[in-house]
Amino acid sequence: MGVEQEYKRWLESPVVSKEDKEILKNMSEAEKDDAFFKNVEFGTAGMRGILGPGTNRLNVYTVKKATIGFAKYLLEKYSTAKEDGVVISHDNRHMSREFTLLTAKVLSEHGIKTYIFDSLRPTPELSYAVRYVHAIGGVMITASHNPKEHNGYKVYDETGCQLVPDKIKRLVDIINALPNELEVTYTPVSHPAEIIMLDSKIDDDYVKEVEAIAINRDLPKKGYKIVFTPNHGTSYVNAMRVFKDLGYEVYPVEKQCSPDPDFSGTLSPNPEDPRSYIESLKLAEEIHAQLVVMTDPDGDRCGLAYLSSKGDYRLLTGNQSAAMLMDYIFSERQKRGLLAKEGAMYNTVVTSSLGKEIADYYGVKTEQFLTGFKFIGNRIDYYEKLGHGPKFEFGYEESYGCLIAPFARDKDGLQAIIMYSEMALYYHLQGKQLDQVWEDLGKRFGYHEDKVYSISFAGSEGSAKMKAITNKLHTNPFIEINGLTPYKVDDFYKQETVEGDKKTPIDLPKSDVVKLYFKDGTNIAVRPSGTEPKIKFYIGVVGSSLKEAQDKPDNIYEEVKKVLEI
CB-CB contact of 299 with 235 (8 Å): yes
Quote the Cα angle for 448-319-144, to 5°: 155
The mean-pLDDT minimum among 335-339, 458-462, 484-488 falls in 458-462
Quote the Cα angle for 162-87-16, to 5°: 90
Give the right CATH number for 447-563 from 3.40.50.300, 3.30.310.50, 3.90.1150.10, 3.40.710.10: 3.30.310.50
CA nearest to 364, candidates 333, 387, 386:
333
* Segment 13-59, tens digit of pLDDT: 999 999 999 999 999 999 999 999 999 988 767 899 999 999 999 99
Number of other CB atoms surrounding residue 342 within 10 Å: 12
Give me the pLDDT at residue 533, please.
78
CATH code of domain 221-445: 3.40.120.10
* Segment 212-230, tens digit of pLDDT: 999 999 999 999 999 999 9
DSSP classification of residue 274: G
Is the CATH code 3.40.120.10 the one for domain 38-202?
Answer: yes
CA distance 464 to 458: 10
CA nearest to 210, candidates 421, 428, 459:
421
Tell me if 38-202 shares its fold with 447-563: no
DSSP H helices in 56-142: 60-77, 81-84, 96-108, 123-132
Give the residue-averaged pLDDT of 345-372.
97
- Give the type of residue at 334: Q
The long-range contacts involving 146-150, CB below 8 angstroms and separated by at least 24 positions, are 146/48, 146/270, 146/531, 146/532, 147/268, 147/269, 148/93, 148/94, 148/261, 148/262, 148/263, 148/269, 149/50, 149/51, 150/48, 150/49, 150/50, 150/51, 150/58, 150/93
Active-site residue (options: 96, 127, 144, 352): 144
| 380 three-class SS | helix
- This prediction has a pTM of 0.94
CA distance 338 to 286: 40
CA torsion angle 132 168 495 351 (round to 10): -40
CA 59 to chain centre: 22
Q: Which residues pair with 169 in a beta bridge?
A: none
Q: Is the pLDDT of residue 148 over 80?
A: yes
Give me the pLDDT at residue 531, please.
62
Mean confidence (pLDDT) of the chain: 95
Task: Name the pairing type of β-strands 488-491 and 514-517.
Answer: antiparallel
17 is catalytic: no
* Segment 482-530, tens digit of pLDDT: 888 999 999 999 999 999 999 999 999 999 999 999 999 999 999 987 6
Break the chain into its structural domains and give their ranges. Answer: 38-202, 221-445, 447-563
Give me the pLDDT at residue 465, please.
86
